[in-house]
Structure 1
Amino acid sequence: MWHKGRTFLLPLLGVIITLLAATGCESIGQVTPAPGSPSRAQLERLLAAVPTVPKRPRPGGYDRGCGTGQGCVFGPAWTDDHDGPGGHDGCDSRNTVLARQLGAVRVRPADGCVVVSGVLNDPYTGRRIAFDRSDAKAVQIDHVYPLAAAWDLGASGWPPPVRVRFANDVDFNLLAVDGKTNEDKGDRTPGDWLPPARATHCFYAGKYLTAANRYGLPVTAADRDALRRVARGCP
């Protein structure tokens, strides 16, 4: 169940959000955590606040498509029509994320919204990736806490507006990342997927747990164990 106003977590979430907003993933090594990553203590506090379930249930009913006869359970992809961060600002959530994360951003003059080029310091691989709208798949927008996993772990019981907000939450759950890495991740969670660059694990764990806390979502026992291991490697 989604819990509105998890006020006891707000001070901690504020700290994590500030850290996650920091840039500097360029030229990341394989051991030293990326700049802006949360500390071990911060991750452990976030992990302690998240409920744990034995394993991911499979209730069925997940249908992301919004065509005729489809469920559209998280609303149209990248819609601006939501009450979360960046909602109703005239720019879809995909382009909002690109504009936030990319450096040297160029937008389409006609609308001042559509990102046509830029450079991404990828938070999953640590590489610099040139983005051009003509090859949009090179940089994709990841739902850090995957939509299908969220559906299975509680979002199926949320009101539709909350699901739409979650799917387009540019502060808590959306991240511009390397396209191939995003495709490899799919709807996997930390128990069986971590970013390929070890140095980015602390950042990813913080982002995942912040989204989980924000929306009252649990982690599985396998997720918890993987995130604990990640936390032990953070400063």
Structure 2
Amino acid sequence: MIRLFLVAVLFVAGCTYPTAGAGPSPTVEPPAPTAKPTGASGKAIEAELKVARVVAVRPEVAGYKRDQFGQSWTDNHNGPGGHNGCDTRNDILAAQLTAVHNRTAKSCVVVEGTLTSEPYTGRRVEFRKAAATKVQIDHIYPLARAWDMGAARWPAQRRVDFANDQAANLLAVDGPANASKNDSGPGEWMPLNKAFRCVYVLRYLQVAHKYALPITAADRDTARTIAPTCK
């Protein structure tokens, strides 16, 4: 009776993980927690700027296509959340939305949830799979930008790992805000939500550092301007 009660509780809660004895379905592990900067302070931004490689402008490198970074939201990557039975998009939705509901108790497919304070706008955004584009997964350092800045020369698996880096580079955001950002960096685009600007700039610099990607002079100048305002 106790075992039956526990199974029922897991089903009602919308848990994404199969219970023991559920059959041959592959185990679905919890999504990896998405790392956030320990403090988006001006000092942290300045520290990243000291080690950043700066180029005058973004070069133009031919050949970019989304599939140069692998299948969209593949689970076949080497970072946190990789090979856990869930694709990267659903890992991020599960980690960053609240009030998450899954398709079934054994499925990691997120069908609804809420961004209570969407990073780029500060607004509350409701996610429903039937209108999935309302919430998109943004690459803070965009793929096309990374291609131009050096990723075109990377091995294929490194590009896949970059595109699915849940710990550093991915953020669930408002769809229209993500479209307005496109493949820009801080030198061309900043979030409407002023409260998130310091975090956005720091995370952009951290991703650039992690993958040895340069930033533009415009990115650097924006980071220098905002750093004194960051606590």
Given the two structures, how large is their TM-score scaled by the length of structure 1?
0.81
Query: What is the RMSD of the two structures over their aligned residues, measured on CA atoms?
Result: 1.2
Q: Aligned AA for 1:139?
A: V
Task: Write the letter of the residue equivalent to 1:40.
Answer: G
Shift of 1:126: 1.0
Classify 1:18/1:59 alpha carbon distance in 2 versus 1 (closer, same or farther; 3 Å). Answer: closer
* Cα 1:119–1:90 shift into 2, 3 Å: same
- Give the counterpart of 1:94 among 89, 98, 101: 89
Aligned with residue 212 of structure 1, among 208, 211, 215? 208
Alpha-carbon deviation of 1:110?
5.5
Q: Which has the larger radius of gyration?
A: 2
CA distance in 2, matches of 1:161, 1:93: 15
Whichever residue aligns with residue 224 of structure 1, its letter is: R
Residue 45 of structure 1 corresponds to 47
**Residue 145 of structure 1 is aligned with which of 134, 141, 151?**
141
Percentage identity across paired residues of the two chains: 52
Please give the alpha-carbon distance, in whole angstroms, between the structure 1 residues aligned to 2:221 and 2:206. Answer: 17
Check whether the contact 2:36–2:168 (CA below 8 A) recurs between aligned residues: no
**Counterpart in 2 of 1:135?**
131
Gaps of 5+ in 1: 1-16, 21-36, 65-71
Aligned residue in 1 for 2:100 = 105
Matched, 1:59 2:61: yes
Q: Could you say which residue in structure 2 is the equivalent of 1:114?
A: 109
Which of 124, 127, 148 pairs up with 2:120? 124
The ranges of structure 1 where at least 4 consecutive aligned residues each deviate by more than 2 angstroms after the TM superposition are 17-20
Q: CA deviation at 1:162?
A: 0.4
Whole-angstrom distance in 1 between the partners of 2:216 and 2:208: 11
For residues 4-46 of structure 1, give each alpha carbon's deviation from its aligned partner in whole angstroms, at most 9, with x where no partner exists: xxxxxxxxxxxxx4546xxxxxxxxxxxxxxxx5111011101
User: Partners in 2 of 1:93 and 1:230 — Cα distance?
Assistant: 31
Q: 2:186 is matched with which residue?
A: 190
Q: Aligned residues, how many?
A: 196
Q: Matched residues in 1 for 2:191 and 2:58: separation?
A: 20
What's 2:220 paired with?
224
| Deviations, residues 67-107 of structure 1 (Å, cap 9, x unaligned) | xxxxx210010000111111100000000000000011111
Q: Is 1:178 aligned with 2:187?
A: no
Q: Classify the secondary structure of the residue corresponding to 1:175.
A: strand
Cα deviation digits, residues 160-188 of structure 1 (max 9, x gap): 10000000111111100000000111011
Q: Distance in 1 between matches of 2:226 and 2:145?
A: 20
Q: Deviations over 1:96-144 (max 9, x none)?
A: 0000000111112154201111111211111111111111011000010
Q: Which amino acid is 1:39 matched to?
A: S
Deviation, structure 1 residue 198: 1.4
**Counterpart Cα distance in 1 of 2:214 and 2:55:** 7
- Secondary structure of the structure 2 residue equivalent to 1:73: helix
Amino acid at match of 1:92: D
Which residues of structure 2 form unaligned runs of 5+?
Answer: 1-34
